[in-house]
Structure formats: structure tokens, C-alpha cells
Chains A and B, each alone.
Chain A
């Protein structure tokens, strides 16, 4: 089954403790992206990657890091999480070869709480 897999689904952590949210896709997609969802703000892009070793900032990159060492994986790293990073996070992917109107395939989301 074609899918984007995020882990964990839920995570509670303390301020300053480094964490990684993993994202993996099995569709050989070139594009991968991280979004955070907050009430009233919709989904905002954190970082995106157009291919292996190619990453760029989205609209809200502060406090986050990413890496794209393999095509299928795109982990999101919070080196020193703060309470304002409490949010619902989504990973998404898309093929370069499909038209833009195909949209994205989304993971199931990670609910992160930083206390």
C-alpha cells in the first residue's frame, strides 16, 4: 500500500530534550515536506525537500532541523523543544513527475506536546 508513515503518533516531552519525528514514504517520491497544524492557522510548512540532500526552509522553520540522506526518509528534528512547538505535525510527499494537481500524500500526523 502506498503510504507515508510517521512515528510516533503521540509524543509528550520536556522542554530542551532533543527529539526526532520520523517520516518514511514507499512511493519513491522526490518531494517531501513537513507541516505543523495549529488552530485557526491551518497547516504551515516548516521545511521541504526536493530530493536527496536538497532541503529548504518553509514558512516557519525556526527551532527545527531536517535531513534527507535517503530518498524515502525525511526526519524532523527538534534539538531543544519549547512549549510553543506543541502542535500537530504532518509529513507529506509528492512525485516530481506528477502534475501539481495530484496533490500530496499525507502521513497520519504526530501530536507533540512540550511541557
Chain B
């Protein structure tokens, strides 16, 4: 079974600064994918960024980037130039490759961006 751990229940950052959210996971699989989801106060689950385990290059989406360390089973999210709209819960999630598999989530990190 896979497990996903987010060790930072809450974090805060000043507007325009950079913040990094941590995520570690445990799996014996070699084919898998990792995600970061954002959940603003509206409760909607929004996919922020995804990473394929077979890709060495770290994924980037505008101000969001990841540091994927496969050997260490670490998948951190970096948010650059933080904006007030980034205030949300952030969930790290794992899914095995192939058909018939489901997402496993970490416990979440609540991020507050301060003006």
C-alpha cells in the first residue's frame, strides 16, 4: 500500500515571497504519478501540477514548480511570488500507473499568504 505524508500542517508566507511545501511518499512501485492539488475556501479541488515518476525533469507550471527526488521519495512544491489567492489547503497525492488505480492523498498543508 502507498502512503503519502505532509509534515507541515500549516505554513504562512508573505505576499511576493517564495514558499516550499513538503511531501514524502512510500511505494515499491516504479510506475507512478504525483500531484499537488489546491483547495481554496470554495472547497473545489484544483489540480496545480503533476509529475511522472519516469521523468527526471521537474515539472513547472507558471509560479509553481516541484522538486522531485525519486530516490528519496520526496516531492516538494515551490510557490514563487506568492499571491493572496494562493491561500488554500494543499494536498499531495499519489497514483500508480496503469488502469484501475486510485489516488492516495497526504494529510494536507494549510497555506496562508499574508499581505
| CB atoms of B106 and A42 under 8 A apart | yes
Interface of chain A residues 43 through 83 with chain B (CB within 8 A) = 43-45, 48, 50, 58
Q: A42-B108, A43-B91, A108-B44 are in contact. Are A103 and B102 (CB under 8 A)?
A: no
Q: Quick check: is A101 within 8 A (CB to CB) of the other chain?
A: yes
Count A-B contacts at CB 8 Å: 62
Closest to A4 in B: B45
Q: Which residue in B4, B33, B42, B43 is a CB contact (below 8 Å) of A100?
A: B33
Closest to B33 in A: A101
Q: Binding site of B, secondary structure by majority: helix, strand, loop or mixed?
A: loop
Interface positions of B (Cβ within 8 A of A): 4, 6, 9, 32-33, 35, 42-45, 47, 50, 52, 91, 93, 95-108
Interface positions of A (Cβ within 8 A of B): 31, 33, 35, 40-45, 48, 50, 58, 88, 90, 92, 96, 99-101, 103-104, 106, 108-109, 111
Closest to B51 in A: A101
